[in-house]
Structure 1
């Protein structure tokens, strides 16, 4: 932490709590005090509130969540001058995974929000066909929707994935269409739960052993690769790389967003080998809009 502070970096807590419990103002005050005291004891610089629970519009939880963010921000700013309070939002404000929040109220109440522009295939219609974790047009449409709601772009940080999804193909066509098993989720017949998350460093190690090398989907503006496992089953892996991330970073600059970040830093290879070092540096550099 001292090293991070010497480089001008902030270290913050991560906070998650039952929204139902936060309806009670006394419980809310106790939880906020607990986090402020912990941050002060550990010389931390704020908190990132990462609550991803289902909330109905105009419910008691709906208003309590906004109150929590507002009261948390006020407490941290008072007790730790210069601290920051941030909140994680879904990639789009349109009821993602049944999370309906007071978006403008939350954004106004904290220093900025981190938009989780990944896991965008949690619900798929109508066919179980593999696609990008964070398709370009779909990702940018989410930010456009937030901005249309009156949210200041300067309070939006774009989150991009440093991991991908590995899907087992039930069928793989010559034109790279991979169909996969149905796993229904919240009314949709298909979900990315049929795949599993894979860090970027693992995907890069797979590249030389894949059937295809890295391919590019122009419509989704995302890379993917294909391989066959020891049982002879075909897999398709979709991910983000410097090429796809750079396109999104350009949007950050163009629309005047606050910045860009990733989930998460440990997904890269820091072993020090020349190839790994080159790949890792390229991913970090992709976060800087050209």
Structure 2
């Protein structure tokens, strides 16, 4: 199957689909064609939270949940606000050298996008990659996707999620420069920065400011324009069960290897910010100056074990947001915009504080 055939078929699908627009206004079924702008991209994993997002801040929503009948309500509303909605895309790297498999991926993505009036795709491939040929094929896959989308959905957006640093994090030895060249922007996932712990196996910040800044600067040192980088930030933290807690508060962890490293954040449990806020009610927040991040300790009622929770909140996030502004980044992204409590009065106050801190 040639990519020309894929594009032609997608154009027919798009024309047929747009004729039956389910939105209140037919214009809301049209793709957002706004040119390059500051981006606030929200990764969304739940289909029912979108009415509570701060629509004055968000510019793109990346769907990381199944597309269902309610998705169209989201798309109509987002388009009425000038906000793009993009699907997520994953691909088995074992098939990167298979041109037919790549073409099928592109075809599937365009079919989903045109059937649901979406504005593009956020490609999230995080598998290890060490071969020069496969690195080149990954760039070609993304380039093929962008060319086909540009033809089928004018104004569409193609982004790619990369690790917090280009330095082969978790075995992801990608051609970052090549990926930047064939996308609208890269989302630098500046979180899970302790997925591979090579030093002392202890609990620490998920997205410390110094480490985050170092990763961004490594991308810029490759020659990537900062305006092609979006700073991904965590709206969650990690709850670690301490094997021991020493006199200065270091929480030693069980060794859980990951992709060659002897220790990793997999020793902890991921907690949404809404959950962290509830846990914090019976604990004392401590600010770590070195990492510009908060944490707290608590004793688990079930087994009496001491736990240490590292997370981000409006104070720690605002410092990194400001850093992004200062170095001229394209904007921000959040994993995930569904990590907040939008239901209770208390939770809504916390959610507002998180959204209010956003600055691009």
TM-score by length of 1: 0.96
Listed as ranges, the gaps of 5+ residues in structure 1 are none
1:190 to partner: Cα distance: 1.2
Per-residue CA distance 1:32-91 (angstroms, 9 max, x = gap): 011112111111110010000110141x31111000111101110111011101100000
Equivalent residue in structure 1 for 2:342, among 270, 278, 283: 270
Equivalent residue in structure 2 for 1:129, among 199, 202, 207: 202
1:127 to partner: Cα distance: 1.7
Alignment of 1:62 with 2:135, yes or no, is yes
Equivalent residue in structure 2 for 1:7, among 61, 74, 81: 81
1:1-290 map, 5 Å: 1-58=75-132, 60-210=133-283, 213-230=284-301, 231-273=303-345, 275-289=346-360
Q: Distance in 2 between matches of 1:182 and 1:101?
A: 27
1:174 to partner: Cα distance: 3.8
Q: Distance in 2 between matches of 1:180 and 1:34?
A: 43
Is contact 1:126-1:189 (8 Å) kept? no
Aligned length: 285
What is the SS of the residue equivalent to 1:260?
A: strand
What is the SS of the residue equivalent to 2:96?
A: helix
1:216 to partner: Cα distance: 0.6
Q: Distance in 2 between matches of 1:186 and 1:277?
A: 39
What is the SS of the residue equivalent to 1:267?
A: coil
Q: Distance in 2 between matches of 1:240 and 1:40?
A: 37
Q: Distance in 2 between matches of 1:187 and 1:75?
A: 37
Per-residue CA distance 1:153-174 (angstroms, 9 max, x = gap): 1110000000000000111134
Is contact 1:252-1:259 (8 Å) kept? yes
Q: Distance in 1 between matches of 2:80 and 2:177?
A: 35
Root-mean-square deviation (Å) = 1.1
1:4 to partner: Cα distance: 1.4
What is the SS of the residue equivalent to 2:195?
A: coil
What is the SS of the residue equivalent to 2:101?
A: helix
TM-score by length of 2: 0.77
Is contact 1:155-1:257 (8 Å) kept? yes
Q: Distance in 1 between matches of 2:212 and 2:355?
A: 20
1:101 to partner: Cα distance: 0.8
Moved more, 16-25 or 137-146: 16-25
Consecutive aligned runs of 4 or more in structure 1 exceeding 4 Å deviation: none
Q: Distance in 1 between matches of 2:257 and 2:91?
A: 27
Is contact 1:200-1:268 (8 Å) kept? yes
Q: Distance in 1 between matches of 2:107 and 2:299?
A: 52
Q: Which structure carries more relative contact order (alpha carbon 8 Å, separation 6+)?
A: 2
Is contact 1:87-1:114 (8 Å) kept? yes
Is contact 1:132-1:238 (8 Å) kept? yes
Is contact 1:167-1:235 (8 Å) kept? yes
Is contact 1:11-1:45 (8 Å) kept? yes
